[in-house]
Amino acid sequence: MKRLLLLLIAGLILTTSLLVSGQKYSPDWQSLRRVQTPEWLQKGKFGIYTHWGPYAVHAYGSNTTWYSFALYLDPEGEEREHFEKTFGKLTPEYGYKDLIPLFTAENFNADEWADLFQKAGARYAGPVAEHHDGFAMWDSALTEWDAADMGPRRDVVGELEKAIRERGMRFVTSFHHAFNWKYYELSYTADKRHDTEDPRFAGVDGLYPTPHEKGAPESEAFLKNWEAKIREVIDRYKPDYLWFDFGWKEPSFEEYKKSVIAYYYNQGHAWGTGVVVTHKDDHLPPGVAVLDLERGKLNELSQEVWITDTSVDRRSWCYIEEPDYKSVNTLVDNLVDRVSKNGNLLLNIGPKPDGTIPKEQKELLLGIGDWLKVNGEAIYGTLPWLIFGEGPTVEEGGAFSESRQRSQYTAEDLRFTTRGDVLYVIALDRPEKEVRVAALKSLEPSDIVEVEMLGAPGSLEWRLEKDGIFITLPEEFPRLEHAFVFKLTLK
């Protein structure tokens, strides 16, 4: 039945009859460049998303979401060795799909997750809707390989959508399934010794794609299915934000990208709310969507809103038994630095296969939330200043640049944000006695109305010299950590 529905939907979604008169956007790049970044993203600054699916079961490797790719690729590799030692020998009938029954989600509670995201200070949140592995996390009419029919036997996307919206946050879904076509293709062999080639499990509505030669372009059926799944999530859950991973840069996706983005923007227009699409690198033309830098950042101020997606774990996107967690201090610094450059931070966590969020991850999120309770006015709803900041720490920009950070930020590394007549100066480490802001050396004393420190009572003493303004810290330093915000009210 689902295969029939797929064929019917796929035959309809790309027809011009869907582009009725009066719609705001048409499926061409010139039209789609007219989109405006919604105010809620510009003001929200901080969001949380979750890598959670069958790939959380094995909890092994330096990047567990790619475990199933490596499992089939290398017969002598550590992933194959781990799989066969832990779960059983890989055979033509037994493989990655057989981890799905172990993805139980018996402790998954969407309200508890949403409460945590809210306490962390997130303004938008949501799940990975489908990763490279091809397992859909919603109740789909297009495939039986979804969380409602297998594994959890629950509509994970639907439950989270309801819980997140009830707490006033915008709803995010991310899509990685464009790469599903290539994700398993290195597993194909002439003697068909893997389950990735079995028509019971592979095909347009299967977990694995239809078997094909390495490097073959995506089939029309695959592309229609790719778009149909996105449209299904748009129609059923009305997400505010669609995050896209790589895999759709290839020319075969060109018309399908235009079609689904136009459809989404038109739906957002009809809903009366601004919606967001993000992309990596040059996967979309400039102006069509918001640029995302995976595990990276810009090293300069941008006139356009952008976003970083990164994880609480330095190595893995999903649950792993031997994590390498960042500190709250690092995560807060990441947030402040991005916001000062007109960016946002989308932070990932990886729950266990039973739906439990590890204690360490909870503590990291709550630590960010504690900082934002005191200092959030310097983050939410702010605009960048003339420059993003100053200080001695040398930064590299671009995707994956966070791993190349040579040193920790110091108290002399400052970041700036603004709101009306207020300039926020944020020191990325604890100052000792005073803070010097060299960028304000051209001010006159009469330009400064008051200097305060968020979290501390009263005004602070300050003096203006030829090499900057010097702010004296309060005698009783407030019980604060991570980054320290000075509020300068200017004329």
The angle subtended at Cα 236 by Cα 118 and Cα 132, nearest 5°, is: 80
pLDDT at 61: 85
The Cα–Cα gap between 19 and 265 comes to: 12
The Cα–Cα gap between 380 and 44 comes to: 6
| Per-residue pLDDT at 1 exceeds 50 | no
| Per-residue pLDDT at 9 exceeds 70 | no
Contact yes or no for 169/160 (Cβ under 8 A) = no
Equal CATH topology for 2-178+230-378 and 383-490: no
Contact yes or no for 454/375 (Cβ under 8 A) = yes
pLDDT at 190: 74
State the average pLDDT over residues 247-268: 98
The Cα–Cα gap between 206 and 10 comes to: 15
| Per-residue pLDDT at 454 exceeds 80 | yes
With cut-offs at 50, 70 and 90, classify the pLDDT of residue 6. very low
| Per-residue pLDDT at 332 exceeds 50 | yes
Tell me the domain boundaries of the chain.
2-178+230-378, 383-490
Alpha-carbon distances of 21 from 18, 36, 190, rounded to whole Å: 9, 21, 51
Reply yes or no on domain 383-490 having CATH 2.60.40.1180.
yes
Q: Which of 44-48, 212-216, 404-408 has the lowest mean pLDDT?
A: 404-408
Mean pLDDT of the chain, nearest integer? 94
pLDDT at 165: 98
With cut-offs at 50, 70 and 90, classify the pLDDT of residue 15. very low
Q: Write down the architecture of domain 2-178+230-378 according to CATH.
A: Alpha-Beta Barrel (3.20)
What is the percent of the chain with per-residue pLDDT over 70, rounded to a whole number? 95
- Residue range 121-161, pLDDT digits in tens: 999 999 999 999 999 999 999 999 999 999 999 999 999 99
pLDDT at 191: 72
- Residue range 199-244, pLDDT digits in tens: 999 999 999 999 999 999 999 999 999 999 999 999 999 999 999 9
- pTM, full prediction: 0.94
| Per-residue pLDDT at 8 exceeds 50 | no
